[in-house]
Structure 1
Amino acid sequence: MKKILLITTGGTIASEPTDEGLAPSLTSGKLAAFLGGLTAEYDIKTEDLFQLDSSNIQPEEWQCIARTVAREYQNYDGIVLTHGTDTMAYTASVLSFMLRNLPIPVVITGSQLPIRHPLTDGVENLRCAFAMASTGIPGVYVAFNRKVILGARAVKVRTTGFDAFESVNCPYAATIDANGLELNESVLPQTDGDFSLEDSLCDRVFLIKLTPGLNPEIFDMLLKMNYKGIVIEAFGAGGLNFVRRDLIAKLQKAVERGISVVVCSQCLYERSDFTIYQTGRKALKSGVVQGFDMTTEAAVTKLMWALGKTDRPEDIKRIFTTNYVGEINIT
């Protein structure tokens, strides 16, 4: 019988109606009670960390979760973490980086309807999460709607649909159908050393989505606000404006000041490639770092994690051209 730790942090799955709307209140023990006969298949222990809407999950909570996993992982075959869906992809990404060479699965799940709702998707998502957690396959994953996604590839793409998450630019790690849990061996991450908790994070990272006509002076403000890293969602394959409003010159100034600037694409699918167009090549000359096919959530959290380790721009570039947990395809 596999030993599974169920950790709860709140979210819709644990929410109940209040005068101010849905709010998390159910404990891990109450969530486990909804699993019915499944509890006889696993040796389940529970732990409550928070009762938070995931909009309130921030870097301090990420560190608490990571430290809890680091404290407990040797005692269990797998860990299931319940979480609100709104920031689940950020949490899944950052845990993937902080829990280096994690030897067991940590599977994050939640729901679009509270678990007490008669039509909830929460019970099924928990069952899928427990199935993945019991495999013993190392890594951080998101389990949702009978699909399992690498933590650093999950993106929330729907606000109400049960198929809320997709695996972006990467096949699913596993799917669940009439054959049971079907693993995709080519996607599963590989460990390359002993486990280490790398939980230092820099929260001075700003994300901005380019729009036509954006005033480049906003980057002067970010410098004054002491931001250490900037992630930009550029146009298409990596377009940044330099006519009349010279964004690239401002980014070069930021890079010269020691700010790490990572540029991804606004397009959800496929990769950025700054070598194709003149504007992209100018951006590369200014010293920005390509995000290639990373999700925005992975880029932001990887930059927070990288800046928690070093503030040397050359080291940040090296980290961003290294694939740690399947988050990026360089070739």
Structure 2
Amino acid sequence: MKILILGTGGTIASAKTEDGYKAALSVEEVLDLAGIERHDGFEIESRDILNLDSTLLQPEDWETIGKAVFGAFGEYDGIIITHGTDTLAYTSSALSFMIRNPPVPVVLTGSMLPITEQGSDAPGNIKTALTFAKKGFPGVYVAFMGKIMLGTRVSKVHSTGPNAFQSINYPDVAYVKGEELVIRHRPRLSRGEPGFDPKIDSDVAYLRLTPGLSPEVFLAVANKAHGIILEGYGAGGIPYRGRDLLSAVSEVAREKPVVMTTQALHGGVDLMKYEVGRRALEAGVIPAGDMTKEATLVKLMWALGHTKNVDEVREIILTNVSDEIGKKS
């Protein structure tokens, strides 16, 4: 059995400098400091493809990572990506859409404390990722704090604590206890010939609905974007009293996709529940259902990379690709 570990930088590979923590270590150095054995009934190989704080990662880097993963499928039984935590959930979602039918486990992991610091969570997270890469099943996943989570369902929910990631509106896939892998839920992932489909359009605007958001601001932003995500309240809806944001959204939605997600962490969007939500549906808004914010953003970019037709984008957004969406409205 052969496992490939790809390094992209992040906190896990950071060292302290005069300017604060900075990604500096190779993935090989990270593995050495984590005490990972290269030959323990299986072989580990490593390769650095990036070495960046994940705040600096751009959508173009998702394709770089995806190419490295896809190109390794014929040679390795599992692939691990060490990654910074700030944008890890965006990358895991992007790889889930770009890489069709991965034949092996692809596991992203990182740490909240650098491997160079005492008490770092890096060794434990790497060992969790290794256990799933060896014993798990194909797909894109995130390993953190002993948990395995589906790549399209994970969000960062804490900025400093070690249990920083949570599976949203979806059960954890598995957990690791010692060397034991305990499966909790098998995702509904398609099977077939592996493919790589990295086409995206990153000209997407993400706006948070707040009391007083003016139609003029919305239109100014929408004018510069190919698609808009509106992060609404609760189950979803758009105000039309006073400042008539709904009319502005309706105007834009005829020409460009407007997708609604929610500021609430759990539960998702249900635009059929309230009158304000039903009016949003009538205006042409596309509901994100129970997708995470990260998956919603990346999926819209991926959809727009394939078509600019609003109806076709709507169909892609509402279609389950990598078990990222369940509830629809």
TM over 0.5: yes
Cα offsets for 1:235-260 (capped at 9, x unmatched): 1111211111111111111112x211
Q: Under a length normalisation based on structure 2, what TM-score does the superposition of the two structures give?
A: 0.96
Cα offsets for 1:20-56 (capped at 9, x unmatched): 1000010011112134353222311111011100001
2:163 corresponds to which residue? Answer: 163
CA separation in 1, counterparts of 2:251 and 2:189?
A: 38
Cα offsets for 1:87-112 (capped at 9, x unmatched): 11111111110001111111000001
Q: 1:302 aligns with which of 299, 302, 318?
A: 299
2:194 corresponds to which residue? Answer: 195
AA in 2 matched with 1:310:
T
AA in 1 matched with 2:93:
S
Could you list the structure 1 runs, at least 4 aligned residues long, displaced by more than 3 angstroms after superposition.
Answer: none
In structure 1, runs of 5+ residues without a counterpart are none
Summarize the alignment of residues 233-312 of structure 1 with structure 2, pairs less than 5 Å apart: 233-256=231-254, 258-312=255-309
AA in 2 matched with 1:245:
R
AA in 1 matched with 2:54:
S
SS at match of 1:212: coil
2:37 corresponds to which residue? Answer: 38
Cα offsets for 1:134-173 (capped at 9, x unmatched): 1251111000000010000110001111100000000001
1:124 corresponds to which residue? Answer: 124
Q: Decide whether the 8 Å contact of 2:131 with 2:176 is kept in 1.
A: no
CA separation in 1, counterparts of 2:178 and 2:187?
A: 21
Q: Decide whether the 8 Å contact of 1:102 with 1:191 is kept in 2.
A: no
AA in 1 matched with 2:132:
M
CA separation in 2, counterparts of 1:250 and 1:194?
A: 43
CA separation in 1, counterparts of 2:57 and 2:85?
A: 11
SS at match of 2:302: helix
SS at match of 1:75: coil
1:147 corresponds to which residue? Answer: 147
SS at match of 1:329: coil
Summarize the alignment of residues 162-181 of structure 1 with structure 2, pairs less than 5 Å apart: 162-177=162-177, 180-181=180-181
Q: Does 1:94 align with 2:94?
A: yes
Structure 1 position 287, deviation (Å): 0.6
In structure 2, runs of 5+ residues without a counterpart are none
AA in 2 matched with 1:55:
T
RMSD: 1.3
2:210 corresponds to which residue? Answer: 211
1:232 corresponds to which residue? Answer: 230
Q: Does 1:22 align with 2:48?
A: no
SS at match of 1:252: helix
Structure 1 position 191, deviation (Å): 2.4
Work out the number of aligned pairs and report it.
327
AA in 2 matched with 1:105:
P
SS at match of 2:17: coil
Q: Under a length normalisation based on structure 1, what TM-score does the superposition of the two structures give?
A: 0.96
Q: Does 1:53 align with 2:53?
A: yes
